[in-house]
Amino acid sequence: MSRPTTRYDATRDHLGEVLAGQPRYRVDQVWEGLYEQLAAPDELTTLSKGLRAELQQALPLALDVVTESSSDRGETVKWLWQLHDGTRVETVLMHYDERSTVCVSSQAGCAMGCTFCATGQAGFDRQLTTGEIVEQVVRAARRARDDGRRLSNVVFMGMGEPLANYDPTWAAVERLHGALGLSARHITVSTVGIVPGIRRLAAEALPVNLAVSLHAADDALRDELVPINRRYPLSTLMDACAGYLQAKGRRLSFEWALIDGVNDRDRDADLLVERARSLPLPAHVNLIPLNPTPGYAVRGTPMRRVRAFRDRLREGGVNATVRQTRGTEIDAACGQLRATHASSEPVAIRR
């Protein structure tokens, strides 16, 4: 038997079925309540008590909190969630001066096997549904509101490869845009380089930001760090990136986790400059000092060399920034919280 639809997996049609017998405007009322007021059904005081209770039961949440931790004086909040089948994913909310960004998971685990990534080391559990992705954003948006902030940005940089779960991910993007009212320019999809996915993304109407996790600018090294490079080598990947730029007319970014002695040499910077400048608009480069993971015996590049690498890119004419690291004391690096709390029980908070 199929499970009841979760609150944010429900489409307007689903709501219509749940609200059968009610006046038609109820669907809009509930939809706006869920997405514009970020309310739970039992908080919709314009509905009768009986109907609220019925909806609360018909539209259960999908995510149970296992742990919620905060750091950076409350500026970073991280959740480990448990899904109905026991699989676990994580979400991180980060408040900055001028924006609040949530980093969401698109899959439970990941099948791409990048050697330096905790999620990749643990393997693939299953795809997330649209509602499981959207709920991460709504719950972070509620938390941002409680913190006196407004959630403004969404990045698909949590667990999983969004373009290997294309349809649910794209449906989530459309929901975030259409129902939550987030601008496409404030939504970033990060990919390890799934070329057919990038081409599909280029054909979509919404111009989301694209981040490509490059990490190496020559095929030999990239094959090692990012195994999917053997299927979609750099020449094919660059071609798809150029296609995305041509379709959207907007700069894309390359992610580069700096690994001590592996991809942080002058030669790596020079090759990266070449790749970034080979595009119709030079790519912006985001440098991230590698977060150490238990399954990979190499360290992040020391900060002094991170800056030198950044400066070399800039001298080569490429825009580069060093990503602020957030939440390291709460294991807010990809996949790490889940590994630390492998045996914790979820706490029963259901709204």
Residues designated as active site: 90, 334
User: Is position 291 an interface residue for ligand SAH (rule: CB under 6 A)?
Assistant: yes
What are the percentages of helix, strand and coil residues in the chain, rounded to 5?
40, 20, 40
- Dist CA 182 CA 173 (whole Å): 9
Q: Which residues bind ligand SF4 (CB under 6 A)?
A: 110, 112-114, 117, 119-120, 160-161, 192, 213, 334
CB of 331 to ligand SF4, least distance (A): 15
In the set 5, 6, 56, 213, which binds ligand SAH (CB under 6 A)?
Answer: 213
CA 72 to chain CA mean position, Å: 20
CB of 216 to ligand SAH, least distance (A): 11
Residue 198 interface partner, choices ligand SAH, ligand SF4, none, CB cut-off 5-8 Å depending on type = none
Sign of the torsion formed by the C-alpha atoms of 241, 245, 248 and 252: positive
Q: What's the chain's length in residues?
A: 351
User: Is position 157 an interface residue for ligand SAH (rule: CB under 6 A)?
Assistant: yes
Identify which range of 48-56, 180-188, 241-249, 284-292 contacts ligand SAH by CB under 6 A: 284-292
Map the footprint of ligand SAH across residues 312-351, applying CB under 6 A.
333-334
Q: Which is nearer to ligand SAH, 14 or 341 (CB)?
A: 341
Q: Distance of CA 335 to CAs 114, 148, 220, 286, Å?
A: 12, 28, 26, 20
User: Is position 257 an interface residue for ligand SAH (rule: CB under 6 A)?
Assistant: yes
* DSSP character string of 12-40: HHHHHHHTTTS-THHHHHHHHHHHTS---
Which residue's C-beta sits nearest to ligand SF4?
Answer: 120
CB of 91 to ligand SF4, least distance (A): 14
CB of 47 to ligand SAH, least distance (A): 39
Q: Which is nearer to ligand SAH, 9 or 90 (CB)?
A: 90
- Dist CA 96 CA 344 (whole Å): 30
Q: Which is nearer to ligand SAH, 135 or 161 (CB)?
A: 161
CB of 236 to ligand SAH, least distance (A): 17
Strand order in the sheet with 209-213: 64-71, 76-82, 88-95, 100-103, 153-156, 187-191, 209-213, 253-258, 284-289, 320-322
Contacts of 90 (CB under 8 A, 6+ apart): 78, 79, 80, 81, 105, 158, 159, 335, 337, 338
Identify which range of 84-92, 167-175, 289-297, 342-350 contacts ligand SAH by CB under 6 A: 289-297
Please report where in the chains the tokens 């719950």 appear, as a residue: 139
In the set 47, 237, 287, 288, which binds ligand SAH (CB under 6 A)?
Answer: 288
Q: Distance of CA 345 to CAs 65, 113, 337, 341, Å?
A: 9, 27, 14, 9
Closest-CA residue to 327 (of 73, 156, 157, 89)? 73
CB of 89 to ligand SF4, least distance (A): 11
Tokens of 63: 């995510």
In the set 100, 101, 130, 190, which binds ligand SAH (CB under 6 A)?
Answer: 190
Q: Which is nearer to ligand SF4, 120 or 168 (CB)?
A: 120
Identify which range of 8-16, 186-194, 237-245, 264-272 contacts ligand SAH by CB under 6 A: 186-194
Map the footprint of ligand SAH across residues 8-67, applying CB under 6 A.
none
Q: Distance of CA 94 to CAs 106, 144, 219, Å?
A: 18, 9, 34
The number of residues that bind ligand SAH (CB under 6 A) is: 16
- Dist CA 272 CA 281 (whole Å): 14
Under the rule (CB under 6 A), what is the footprint of ligand SAH?
A: 116-117, 157, 161, 190-192, 213, 255, 257, 288, 290-291, 293, 333-334
